[in-house]
Structure 1
Amino acid sequence: MSDKETMQVYAGAAATYAEKFARIDDIDVDQFSDLTAFFDLLPDGGLVLDLGCGPGQWAAKIRTAGYRVEAMDASPEMADLAKEAFDLDVTVGTFDTLEAVARFDGIWANFSLLHAPKAELPRHLERIKTALKPSGAFHLGMKLGDGEARDHLGRFYSYYSEADLVGLLETAGFTVSRTRTGSSVGLAGSNDTFVILTAHD
């Protein structure tokens, strides 16, 4: 994510976002099932990258479950919050910063790649696949819908159907093992539908 307007929104709202959405003990049964599906594809003590970690709550949950964790976010403000709240070592960088080769046992991209333009998503998925070890696990959370748009806060979003995302993942060489749809209220206050996909190399 490097869209200037989106970055400005997160810079200004980082503390509010963390207060509302980064409580490590705030997890519902469906989110727990997302973690479980991801963990089922990981080796014991495996290395996981939280790609677009935000204020760090998911990286902290994954670490608490016994996995080694690295984290990356494009927002310096979010990275600082993750370091302060959860003592995470966070790299500040965009999706294009990911240059690892066969390093990670799993990559967790929970509602981060939705800020990438549609034209760029295929190459981001290629980078992710390259960064994963053989049989590596991939978690992807995206909003459902059509086209590209900004929310009333100014953040850029790309919207997809579940079938579109399954197709993009398969084209990139992934096998999708699980999908889940739902809805939730985010920072903008709107109740948005989403899809969670669990896949492996």
Structure 2
Amino acid sequence: MSDPRTLAVYNSQADAYVEMMEREASDDQMIGRFIAACPEGGRVLDLGCGPGHYARRMAETGLQVEAIDASEAMVDRASRLPGVSVRLGRFEDLTTTARYDGIWAYFSLLHASRAELPAHLDRIARALKPGGVLFLGMKRGNGGGRDRLDRYYEYYQRDELESLLTDAGLTPRAHWLGQGAGLAGSVSGWIVIRADA
């Protein structure tokens, strides 16, 4: 997430975003699927962690959790969570090799430009251990643009995402579709893809 206008929204709307995530994360079945796909006690990364609701769930199961976000306000909130090692950083700051058993990129990479996404996925593939798992959440649609809060989004269809994941050396294994209203209040479709290293 490198767009300064998008980051400004997350910094200024942090309290409202935390309230929304308190509701959404508690009912989200995807995090359970991710945790089940990771080895017990494994090392995982929450890439674009926001206030850390999902990172907290991971840590509660005994996973070794690292988290990164580009919003100072979000990092401040996530850093208060027990069992979570969080730092301020951008997607391009992921430079490790074969470190993680799982990477959770849940509705974060949708803020990256379309041109940058292949390089981000390459970094993720490199950072995963052999057999590691990625859960990628994105909004469904075409093109890109800003929502009413001024956050920038890129929208994707399943076939495009699966092609990009395959090009990065990852193997799509499963996907889930749905729809929901986020912080901006507008309903949109989403897709979550599990891809294995």
TM-score range, shorter chain: over 0.9
Asked whether the equivalents of residues 175 and 194 of structure 2 are also in contact (C-alpha less than 8 Å), the reply is yes
SS class of match (2:177): strand
The 10-residue stretch of structure 1 (50-59 or 88-97) with the greater mean CA deviation from structure 2: 88-97
Match for residue 100 of structure 1?
96
Match for residue 58 of structure 1?
54
Asked whether the equivalents of residues 102 and 132 of structure 1 are also in contact (C-alpha less than 8 Å), the reply is yes
Match for residue 26 of structure 1?
26
RMSD (CA atoms): 1.5
1:110-162 alpha-carbon deviations (Å, 9 max, x no partner):
00000000000000000001111111110000000000100011000000001
**Separation of aligned partners in 2, 1:24 and 1:35:** 11
TM-score by length of 1: 0.93
Q: Aligned-pair distance for 1:88?
A: 3.1
**Separation of aligned partners in 1, 2:59 and 2:146:** 33
**Separation of aligned partners in 1, 2:86 and 2:72:** 9
Asked whether the equivalents of residues 41 and 200 of structure 1 are also in contact (C-alpha less than 8 Å), the reply is no
The structure 1 segments of at least 4 consecutive aligned residues displaced by more than 6 Å after TM superposition are none
Match for residue 199 of structure 1?
195
SS class of match (1:189): coil
- Within the alignment, does 1:121 sit opposite 2:114 as a pair? no
- Sort the Cα spacing of 1:159 and 1:126 in 2 relative to 1 into closer, same or farther, 3 A: same
Q: Aligned-pair distance for 1:72?
A: 0.3
> Percent of counterpart pairs with the same letter?
46
- Sort the Cα spacing of 1:25 and 1:170 in 2 relative to 1 into closer, same or farther, 3 A: closer
Match for residue 183 of structure 2?
187
**How many aligned residue pairs are there?**
197
Give, as a single letter, the amino acid of the residue that structure 2 aligns with 1:181. Answer: L
1:32-82 alpha-carbon deviations (Å, 9 max, x no partner):
2x2343234322210000000000000011111221100000001001011
- Within the alignment, does 1:141 sit opposite 2:145 as a pair? no
Asked whether the equivalents of residues 5 and 151 of structure 2 are also in contact (C-alpha less than 8 Å), the reply is yes
Give, as a single letter, the amino acid of the residue that structure 1 aligns with 2:55. Answer: A
- Sort the Cα spacing of 1:25 and 1:198 in 2 relative to 1 into closer, same or farther, 3 A: closer
SS class of match (2:115): helix
Match for residue 6 of structure 2?
6
SS class of match (1:59): helix
Structure 2 residue ranges without an equivalent (≥5): none
**Separation of aligned partners in 1, 2:188 and 2:89:** 27
Asked whether the equivalents of residues 101 and 131 of structure 1 are also in contact (C-alpha less than 8 Å), the reply is yes
TM-score by length of 2: 0.95
